[in-house]
Amino acid sequence: MSGDSVPCVPGRWRQHLQPRRRCRSLRGGPRRAELGPGPWASPMEKSAASTEPQGPRPVLGRDSVQVPDDQDFRSFRSECEAEEGWNLTYSKAGVSVWVQAVEMDRTLHKIKCRMECRDVPAETLYDVLHDIEYRKKWDSNVIETFDIARLTVNADVGYYSWRCPKPLKNRDVITLRSWLPMGTDYIIMNYSVKHPKYPPRKDLVRAVSIQTGYLIQSTGPKSCVITYLAQVDPKGSLPKWVVNKSSQFLAPKAMKKMYKACVKYPEWKQKHQPHFKPWLHPEQSPLPSLALSELSVQHADSLENIDESAVTESREERLGGAGGEGSDDDTSLT
């Protein structure tokens, strides 16, 4: 977001539900903050290197919808920082990408991207990943994104659809997203849920976010490092060229576009409701509240699989066209 850490909590906003253990320093409100699973995202298993309890509980095996707690955030952070078992596929100009095949199915991979942001404070990157209106300006992968409802002061549910490399079918997800500032660091993460008013659409493939998110770590007053971790089931057998292109081209390009957006954000925000930041001031949020009981876990095996393994890359994609990653033109950010 999937981009930083995850949130906290004023008392009057503790609606119908309470997380299993409340985060101690919640100060965020509801807002959709995702780089989106992206066309490169795929399912991810727990890192063999981590000694922490593996994989936040909103992953495989969960039977009920719950708001992540402190242990979930610690586990996600540990996953982001793990090194063993990852294969480096790209490293250039401060951006690195790793992939890891899921043992049970070599067609599925998990991906981790890390980028050094030398001229961007951690709090600015955090704002950019939360600001849904600004995302529509810089995220060329997005087809449609909107918030649905507020769960707690640091959790919401929302919709995100994105373009995949042509000629693959585009995907969408409904996710429960939560966020938490941790000192000068931040986490944002999400997992898929089912909402009765937003069933799968016929024109899109409903993907499943097992766990996707961001870890933003401050490295100075005006610098930070962001790690994007994706565990998404795209609900389909993807051709090998998609996996290769995702890790070697699409993911790095998406990270670089996000960096450019961060550099331009302060100037843009001054012209567009500069004081409106519901993720920092939850009383500003216009979202309706929703009880957790209205949601259910989105299990991957309940959705249709689409076999796209034989799909060949379009000529536009081979020539570096926009399909799935967007152009480099950032004039819309002004």
pLDDT band at 224 (very low <50, low <70, confident <90, very high): very high
Q: Return the structure tokens found at 330.
A: 């950032």
Instruction: For the beta carbon of residue 168, count every other beta carbon within 10 angstroms.
Output: 23
Taking residues 196-222, what's their average pLDDT?
93
Residue 167, preceding peptide bond in cis (omega within 30° of 0): yes
At residue 318, the pLDDT reads 53
38 vs 198 pLDDT, higher one: 198
Helix, strand, coil distribution of the chain in percent, nearest 5:
25, 30, 45
Q: What is the pLDDT of residue 210?
A: 87
- 22-46 mean pLDDT: 40
SS3 category, 239: coil
High-pLDDT (> 90) share of the chain, %: 50
The pLDDT, as a whole number, for residue 9 is 31
Read off the pTM. 0.76
- Average pLDDT, whole number, for the chain? 77
CA dist., res. 167 & res. 299, Å (int): 26
Greater pLDDT, 12 or 72: 72
Stronger pLDDT, 139 or 248, i.e. the higher one: 139
Give tens-digit pLDDT for 265-319: 999 999 999 999 999 999 999 999 999 999 998 887 777 666 666 566 654 545 4
User: d(Cα 112, Cα 126) in Å, to the nearest integer?
Assistant: 18
Looking at the domain that runs over 70-139+183-191+206-281, which CATH code has it been given?
3.30.530.20
| Amino acid identity for residue 256 in this structure | K
E-assigned strand segments in the chain: 87-92, 95-102, 105-117, 142-152, 155-162, 171-182, 185-194, 205-206, 208-220, 223-233, 236-237, 296-297, 306-307
DSSP structural state of residue 322:
S
Q: In whole angstroms, what is the distance from residue 269 CA to residue 276 CA?
A: 9
Position 62 confidence tier, pLDDT thresholds 50, 70, 90: low
